[in-house]
Structure formats: structure tokens, C-alpha cells
Amino acid sequence: MKSILIIGANSAIAKATARLYAEQKNALYLLARDPEQLALQKADLTVRGASSVAYAAFDATDLASHGALVAQALEALGHFDIVLISHGSLPDQALCERDFDAALEAFNVNALSVISLLNFVVKPMQERRDGCIAVVTSVAGDRGRQSNFIYGAAKAMVSTYLQGLRGRLFPHNVTVVDIKPGFVDSPMTAHLPKGALWAQPEQIAQHIVNGIEKKRGTIYAPGFWRLIMFVVCSVPEVIFKRLKF
């Protein structure tokens, strides 16, 4: 039985992952903005088999609250076997380009809040010399694209940070997993047209659980995105800057 902290627990990917962990009878602690949704999730996960489910409401952008919230979760669970960070937002690129406040919010939600939380999560895991930290970033962070480089930059910040953290924590036996989903059909992308490359949150969740189990470093979910991004990143800049996607 593992003790698992899920941050951004109301997101579609986190919900699907929590369900898989509940079926394995683990102990779960959930952090998200909407306590009503969290209460519904608690009931659902309990029926599915979770050995215990507790939760608290939290606002990712309230950086000052992170310390206390993580401490509360640690108190409830006893220790962290797995910490999954899965909150985020898809900003309006055009708006962010016109209004820096919107861009700043996007960076706060998607990057700075993640790093702030990681600070508090790393200490107890490092001391215990065990566990896995998993963060959902995005393939968008692999290369900046005209259509969403604010989102891409924020996710890239987190991915680069995780690379360094991985090395820092390796001697302490703590694994750091970077999960890079491609297009996922979820409330965050409800307004976008879907196509053949789109995955369901349940598929991503299975990749996350498998990847954490196998202590992988970077996971592309689904796997074909590794090849797609390899090609995308190989395109010379001279050509790439002329592409409009």
C-alpha cells in the first residue's frame, strides 16, 4: 500500500490516475481548488478500493500557502511514496501576447507554483531516501511553437528544472519522472477540434502508473509522441520559424 499525494487532483488526468491508484488499494491525499469535486472524488475512490482518501482545497497561485498544505498532507499520509503534480491551465496565446498579466498568470500556474510545491515535497522524500516525484508537463515544452509558446515556455521551464532535480535526488534514491502528454481530450482542451492524435485521460493515466512503477525518467504519453517530437526538434530553425503551427 503506497501513500500518494496528488496535486491538481480535479484535473482529468489526475482523476483517472487516482482511480487506478485507488483500485490498487493505496492511501490518497488530494489537493485541488474545488472542495465539492474533491468530496465527490473521495466517495468515488473509496468505492473503487482506496484504503484512505483525504483532501484539502488549495490555490496553486497562492505560493505562501504551499508549505502548510504540503505539511498537512505529510501529516495525514505519514510519508510520500508518490507525489503527482498535475495542475495547470492552457492560456490564450493571443491574449498573453497582448497582456503581460495574462502571461504572468500562465507562468505562475504552470511553472512557478510547480517549482514552489516541489521545494516542500522534496525535503521529506530526500530524508526518507525513497519515493517518486512525477510531474505532468507537455510535449509543448520540447520546442517553442508560434501557436503556444507561452504554455510551451512554462512547461519547458518545469522540464528543465526536473532534469536538474533528477540528478540532485539520484544519490538520495528518489526518482523524478517527467510526464509529457501530447494532445489530450479533457475539459482543458474542450474548445479545441479533435483529431486522430488525441488521447483520453485514462490512457495517459495508465502511462503514468506504468512509468512510475518502472521508475522511468521522461515519459511521452502515448509513446508515439517521442518520435513525433524527435522529428519536430530536428527541423532546422531556418525552416521551423517559417512554419505556422
Binding region for other proteins (CB under 8 A): 23, 36-37, 40-41, 43-44, 47-49, 187, 190
* CB nearer other proteins, residue 37 or residue 126: 37
Beta-bridged to residue 136, according to DSSP, are 179
Is residue 5 exposed (0-12), middle (13-18) or buried (19+ Cβ within 10 Å)? buried
Using CA atoms, how far apart are residues 146 and 24, in angstroms rounded to an integer? Answer: 42
* Nine-digit cell string for 85: 503534480
Distance of closest approach, residue 160 Cβ to other proteins, in angstroms: 33
* CB nearer other proteins, residue 23 or residue 97: 23
Enter the DSSP assignment of 63: G
Distance of closest approach, residue 40 Cβ to other proteins, in angstroms: 5
Distance of closest approach, residue 45 Cβ to other proteins, in angstroms: 8
* CB nearer other proteins, residue 43 or residue 95: 43
* CB nearer other proteins, residue 197 or residue 233: 197
Distance of closest approach, residue 203 Cβ to other proteins, in angstroms: 12
What lies within 8 Å, CB to CB, of 37 at 6+ separation is 10
* CB nearer other proteins, residue 11 or residue 138: 11
Specify whether the CB–CB gap between 140 and 155 falls below 8 A: yes
Using CA atoms, how far apart are residues 216 and 144, in angstroms rounded to an integer? Answer: 25
* Nine-digit cell string for 167: 540528478
Distance of closest approach, residue 47 Cβ to other proteins, in angstroms: 4
Is residue 172 exposed (0-12), middle (13-18) or buried (19+ Cβ within 10 Å)? middle
User: Which residue type occupies 81?
Assistant: D
Using CA atoms, how far apart are residues 195 and 80, in angstroms rounded to an integer? Answer: 38
Distance of closest approach, residue 49 Cβ to other proteins, in angstroms: 8
* CB nearer other proteins, residue 108 or residue 186: 186
